[in-house]
Amino acid sequence: MNAIEVAQSRASQPTTVRVTNLNPDSNIGASAWCVEVDGHHLLLDAGVHPARLGRDSLPLYKLIRGLQLDAIAVSHCHLDHIGSLPVAVREHPHAQVLMTTSSYSLAGRVLHNSVNVMLRQRGSLGIRDYPLFTHADVEEMEPLFQGFRYNREIVWGSPHTGRRGARLPTLEFHDAGHVLGSAGVLVRGRKESLFYTGDVCFHDQTLLRSARFEKVKADVLILETTRGGRALPEGFSRASEEERLVASIERVLKRRGSVLVPAFGLGRTQEVLARLALWMRSGRLRRQAVHIGGLGRVFTEIYDQESHRAHRHHPSLQLRDALELTVLAAGEAGSMRLGGGRIFVVTAGMMTEGTAAHDLAARMMRDPRHGIFFVGYADPDSPGGRLKASSRGEPFIFSAATGEVSRGCEVAEFDLTAHANRDDLLAFVAQAGPRAVLLGHGDQPAREWFEEQLAQRHPGLRVIQPAPGKVSQV
C-alpha cells in the first residue's frame, strides 16, 4: 500500500483532531485555523484580510472566545498570516506565541508598520475601528514571542489541559521556502499528526531555495491552493521569465524611460533586488541607483542580517552593499523627475492609494517611455489589478484619486511567484500520505481543481473545503 492507502486504512479509528476555519472569507483572506489535538488548542496563524477594512478584516475570533488557547504558531510574517496577532494575544494572553527565528526578527517590524498604516487609514478613510492595536500593544507583547530553529520539536500543550500524565502535543517548523522565516507546521498528538503548509514554494527563487518538506508525513493536511486555477504554460521556466524581465528593463532604459516594479515589501522586494544586483554584477544592466521605500529597506536589511541562517542561494550577497539603494522621502514620488532611466522597486504590490507605488504609477502611466512591471499578485479590484488589466489608450478607473485615465506606458506581468505550482502540491500530498486534506488559501476555482484532482488520484481520500467558521472533525 502507498502512504495514502495506509492512512485510509486507519480512518475508521476514533480521531482526536478538530479543525476550525477562522478565515472570514471563502477565498484568500485572513489565515487562521484553530486546531484541537488531544483536548489542547492551537491557533495556526493570525492574519488580516487584505481586501477588507476595520474589524471586518479580522478572523472569526468570536468562535474561539472563552476557549483555553494553549499556543499560537505563526507560519510567516505576511499580514494575511500575522496581521491580527496582537488581537489574538490580547484575547488569549496565556497562549504561547511561537515562530521561526527569522520570523522573530521580522514580526515586530511588520506589526509596527501595520499600526502606522491603520493610523493613516483612520484619518484618510474615516475607519473608526483603527487602529485595531497600538504601538504600545506591540511593544508589550513582543517579549512573549518565541523564535525557534527549523526541525526542532517544541512542546506547546498545557499540562493543565487534557488527561493527567498524558504526553503533551508538540510541533515542528519546516522550511517552506516562501519568504524569509516561512514555515510549514507539523503538529503531533498522542496518535494523530497534522501538517499545515502555510504558504509554500517548491521551486528555487533567486535568493531562497525551495521548501524542505521531503520527510513530512501526516494524518491530516491543511493545504494552500493559491495557484490551483493556474496551469504552467508549455515550456515555461523561471529562467525564461527572468530573461523576459531583464530584456524589458533594458528596453525601457534604452528609451530613457523609468521602470517601476511594485512589490510587496517582504519577500518580493528582496528577490527583485537580488536579481537586479546579479544583473548589474554581470554587466547585463549598468550600475545605477535603485529607488526603494523605507519599509523595503528595513526588510532588506533584515534579509542581509539573516543570510547566514536562511537556506538560500548567494548567502554572501549583501543587498545593501551590492546595490546603491536610495530611499524615497515622504512625498518624493509625487514630485521627482522621472525621465533619464530610473529604477523603482517600491512597496505596495497592489498600488493602494496613498502609497509611493500608486503615486509613481499615476505619473508614469501616460508616458510611453516608461514601464510598469508586475512580479506578483494584485487583487483585480485594487489599483494595481485594474492597471494590470488595462489596455493601451483605453480609458479606465485607476483609483478614486486619479479618476478615469488612459495609459500609454508599457505594462507587463512576470511569473516570479513565491507560491508552489499546483502539480508540485499534488505531489506533496502523495508524499505526505494524509487520510484527510483540508483545502484553504485559494479562491473557489483553485480549491475545486484540487478537490477534483485529489479525488481522481486518491479515491477514498477525504477532501474538505471548509466554509468560514466550519468545524471539521478529522
Domain boundary among 382, 413, 444: 413
Residue closest to 103 by CA, chosen among 272, 274, 375, 299: 299
User: How far apart are alpha carbons 317 and 280 in whole angstroms?
Assistant: 13
Do residues 278 and 404 both lie within one domain? yes
CATH of the domain at 340: 3.40.50.10890
Grid coordinates in use for 442? Answer: 485559494
- Residues 200 and 415: beta-carbon distance below 8 Å: no
Do residues 73 and 196 both lie within one domain? yes
Residue 452 host element (H or E):
helix 444-457
User: How far apart are alpha carbons 33 and 474 in whole angstroms?
Assistant: 14
Do residues 82 and 146 both lie within one domain? yes
Do residues 82 and 173 both lie within one domain? yes
pLDDT at 12: 47
- Residues 55 and 84: beta-carbon distance below 8 Å: no
Do residues 122 and 59 both lie within one domain? yes
pLDDT at 160: 67
Do residues 275 and 311 both lie within one domain? yes
Do residues 90 and 224 both lie within one domain? yes
In a structure prediction context, what are the per-residue pLDDT tens digits for the chain, which is 474 residues long?
A: 565 654 555 554 556 799 999 999 999 999 999 999 999 999 999 999 988 999 999 999 999 999 999 999 999 999 999 999 999 999 999 999 999 999 999 999 999 999 999 999 999 889 999 999 999 999 999 999 999 999 999 999 887 655 665 789 999 999 999 999 999 999 999 999 999 999 999 999 999 999 999 999 999 999 999 999 999 999 999 999 999 999 999 999 999 999 999 998 999 999 999 999 999 999 999 999 999 999 999 999 999 999 998 999 999 999 999 999 999 998 899 899 998 899 999 987 789 888 899 999 999 999 999 999 999 888 888 899 999 999 999 999 999 999 999 999 999 999 999 999 999 999 999 999 999 999 999 999 999 999 999 999 999 999 999 999 999 999
Query: 357 phi and psi, to 5 degrees?
Result: -60, -45
Q: Report the greatest alpha carbon distance in the chain.
A: 73
Q: What is the CA radius of gyration of the chain?
A: 22
- 294 by Cβ neighbours in 10 Å (0-12 / 13-18 / 19+) ranks as middle
- Residues 273 and 345: beta-carbon distance below 8 Å: yes
Kindly report the pTM of this predicted structure.
Answer: 0.93
pLDDT at 7: 54
Neighbour tally for 140: CB within 10 Å: 14
The per-residue b/e assignment along 438-464, b for 16 or more CB within 10 angstroms, e otherwise, is bbbbbeeebbbbbbebbeeebeebbbb
- Residues 131 and 48: beta-carbon distance below 8 Å: no
Kindly give the residue spans of alpha helices, DSSP state H, lying in 330-408: 356-364, 383-389
Torsion of CA 208, 100, 107, 301, to 10 degrees: -40
CA 213 to chain CA centroid, Å, is: 18
Domain boundary among 369, 384, 413: 413
Do residues 307 and 324 both lie within one domain? yes
How far apart are the two ends of the chain, measured CA to CA in Å?
A: 21
Domain that holds residue 263: 238-413
User: In 288-330, which ranges are E strands?
Assistant: 289-292, 324-327
Do residues 249 and 342 both lie within one domain? yes
Domain boundary among 392, 413, 434: 413
- For the chain, the domain total comes to 2
CATH of the domain at 450: 3.60.15.10
Do residues 219 and 265 both lie within one domain? no
User: How far apart are alpha carbons 143 and 211 in whole angstroms?
Assistant: 29
Do residues 194 and 277 both lie within one domain? no
- 143 by Cβ neighbours in 10 Å (0-12 / 13-18 / 19+) ranks as exposed
3-state secondary structure of 142: helix
Do residues 58 and 189 both lie within one domain? yes
pLDDT at 226: 96
Residue closest to 332 by CA, chosen among 315, 348, 344: 344
Grid coordinates in use for 151? Answer: 526541525
User: In 250-297, which ranges are E strands?
Assistant: 259-263, 289-292
Strand 71-73 with 396-399, pairing:
unpaired
- Angle (CA) 361-357-293 rounded to 5° is 145
